[in-house]
């Protein structure tokens, strides 16, 4: 036993043992939602009332907690669960307030090659009829 502890208390083992703390919180990588790239395939998996993502103007939003709050109702949002809702969003004449309300649900944005609007030569919002 003395032999084992003398080995553990030296060199690599002692520094490894003293640096491990099981009480410290696990640090997950923090990624700014604006910087998180999410492709169409991943969005399409979030297509139900318990896990609902939509895309508006190339940005991805997790609106699961918003379904019951939406003034236009949750059902209409679920029609776009897992897909692009830009034209529907624009077409239902949302206010600037509604546009700002999107911010709190942002989880990421599409890769450049899957975007429609926010890319060089992409559509402008004014191209979509209100
Ligand atoms: C996460 C995305 C959305 C947010 C944050 C949002 C937010 C809002 C807000 C705040 C209003 C109240 C009126 C206003 O301020 O414009 C509203 C109304 C409405 N929204 Fe949305 N909306 C979203 C997506 C959609 C989508 C995809 C549709 C699909 C067509 C839709 C359809 C409507 C309709 C029809 C109304 C009018 C309800 C009424 O006046 O009775 N919304 N929305």
DSSP symbols for 20-77: --TTSPP------GGG-B--HHHHHT-EETTEEEEEETTEEEE-GGGTTT-TT-HHHH
Residue 12 in domain: no
Cβ atoms of 37 and 110 within 8 Å: the answer is: yes
List ligand 1's pocket residues with C-beta within 6 A.
61, 63, 66, 70-72, 76-77, 80, 85, 88-89, 92, 94-95, 97-98, 101-102, 105
Residue 18 in domain: no
Residue 20 in domain: no
Confidence of residue 18 (pLDDT cuts 50, 70, 90): very low
Task: Give me the number of domains the chain comprises.
Answer: 1
Residue 8 in domain: no
pLDDT tens digits, residue range 55-109?
999 999 999 999 999 999 999 999 999 999 999 999 998 999 999 999 999 999 9
Residue 75 in domain: yes
CA 77 centroid distance within chain: 17
Atom number, ligand 1, closest to the C-alpha of residue 94: 16
- Residue closest via CA to ligand 1's atom 31 equals 89
**pLDDT over 70, % of the chain:** 72
Burial of 85 (0-12, 13-18, 19+ CB in 10 A): buried
Residue 70 in domain: yes
pTM: 0.78
CATH number at 44 reads: 3.10.120.10
User: How many A from CA of 117 to the centre of ligand 1?
Assistant: 20
pLDDT for res 1: 46
pLDDT for res 23: 63
Least Cα distance to 130 among 102, 88, 90, 81 occurs for 90
Residue 41 in domain: yes
**Residue-range definition of the domain harbouring residue 46:** 33-127
Residue 23 in domain: no
């Amino acid at each position: 036993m003395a032999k084992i502890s003398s080995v553990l208390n030296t060199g690599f083992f002692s520094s490894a043992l003293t640096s491990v703390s099981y009480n410290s919180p696990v640090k997950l990588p923090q990624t700014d939602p604006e910087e998180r790239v999410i492709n169409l395939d991943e969005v399409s998996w979030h297509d139900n009332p318990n896990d609902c993502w939509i895309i508006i103007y190339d940005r991805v939003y997790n609106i699961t907690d918003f379904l019951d709050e939406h003034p236009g109702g949750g059902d209409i949002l679920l029609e776009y669960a897992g897909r692009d809702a830009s034209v529907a969003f624009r077409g239902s004449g949302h206010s600037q307030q509604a546009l700002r309300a999107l911010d709190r649900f942002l989880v990421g944005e599409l890769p450049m090659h899957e975007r429609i609007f926010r890319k060089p030569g992409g559509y402008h919002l004014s191209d979509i009829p209100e």
